[in-house]
Amino acid sequence: MRVASLILAVTFMSATVSLAQSPSTAPLPCEGSYNIIRVSEIKPGMMSTFMKAVEGHKAWYAAAGAPDKIIAMRVINRDSVTKVQSYSETTIVTSHQEPVTRSQPLPPEGDSYKAFVDLYKQSSTIKSEFRTCMPSK
């Protein structure tokens, strides 16, 4: 009987410690908007396909009546010797600014959502992603 009580007590304590250490999945508070920054590697010859994905991405949020802003920023390469600049055909930085709270829920992800995601997958690989809080002022 004492062994069973001991096992039960240890099990309960382990579960309590485990729950206390679990990280929260709730969004962090933010005075402004959330911003997802991604650095993507563009597959050879696929920059125009990637830019079509960006346009589809923008269109999906606009059709949903969402205030999200999606921006693709071309990386500028600069030769260290000649100082000549050129746009990278292999690296791009994107920004997806989204509200902390939405006035209405987003619609289900249908065919038009899948279409722009497929274009992203065909044309690029995400190399790094940062989720930030962008101050409103």
The model's pLDDT over 84-133, given as tens digits with 9 standing for 90+, comes to 999 999 999 999 999 999 889 999 999 999 999 999 999 999 999 999 99
Mind listing the pLDDT tens digit for each residue in 41-83?
A: 999 999 999 999 999 999 999 999 999 999 999 999 999 999 9
pLDDT surpasses 60 at 16: no
Q: Which CATH class is domain 29-135?
A: alpha beta
Own/partner contacts of 67-73, CB < 8 Å, gap of 24 or more, are: 67/99, 68/96, 68/97, 68/98, 68/99, 69/95, 69/96, 69/97, 70/94, 70/95, 70/96, 70/97, 71/95, 71/97
Spans of all domains in the chain: 29-135
Span between the terminal Cα atoms of the chain, in Å: 64
pTM for this entry? 0.78
